[in-house]
Chains A and B, each alone.
Chain A
């Protein structure tokens, strides 16, 4: 059973399109995250939700909008895609952001390519 699953795994789309990436966790965790790994390989946090409430919102263009319908799901919608949005996007979850003994559990990533 996959603990944190993301769909799709690969996404190729044209500039200007709108796309969504879905994430679901079956671990019963309270907190979910979106990270972006850019071409320089840095993993940078974008958003974090705790029990459906937004707790971290980094400096991300407002074309990116997270949606958490329940604590097991955190989707990422991106409007008007740009070439610079090409990256690997990782979803993650944790039981409690304050207790990091077990770290985060990451999904396998979504490779987004904007052409």
Chain B
């Protein structure tokens, strides 16, 4: 039962353009959403989070949008850089503060 879904296993964009990573969830009780970035042979690194009472949070080149009615969130990276190439995980917090992760999307930013 996948409560957090990242339906695109991979995404390729040109350097300088916008990267949009998408995530859908099914549990309306999730109250916090996070994005993590992971390089090979390393642990996930926290990027940005958003509370369920907000619809947007911005941090530098990274912006997360939350559409509660659609149970959808997205991560925008502008402008994309080759160093952004990594696997991006969406995660949601549910009961007992447990985080549920999506399967990840591999982003490749081409120079």
Contacts and interface: CB of A to CB of B under 8 A. Distances in A.
Interface stretch (B14-22, B38-46, B66-74): B38-46
Contact of A103 (B34, B41, B42, B97): B34
A105 interface: yes
A46 to B, nearest CB: 11
Contacts, number: 54
Contacts of A56: 96-98
B11 to A, nearest CB: 15
Interface in A60-110: 90, 92, 97-98, 100-109
Contact of A104 (B41, B99, B100): B99
Contact of A45 (B43, B47, B98): B98
Q: B89, B97, B101: which has the most chain A beta carbons within 10 Å? A: B97
Given A43-B89, A45-B98, A106-B45, 15 more contacts: A43-B44, A43-B91, A44-B101, A45-B99, A56-B98, A100-B32, A100-B34, A102-B46, A102-B49, A103-B36, A103-B46, A104-B46, A106-B43, A108-B41, A108-B43
3 shortest interchain CB distances as A-B pairs: A103-B46, A106-B43, A97-B97
B103 A42 contact: yes
- Looking at chain A, what size class is its interface with the partner chain? 20 to 34
B46 A109 contact: no
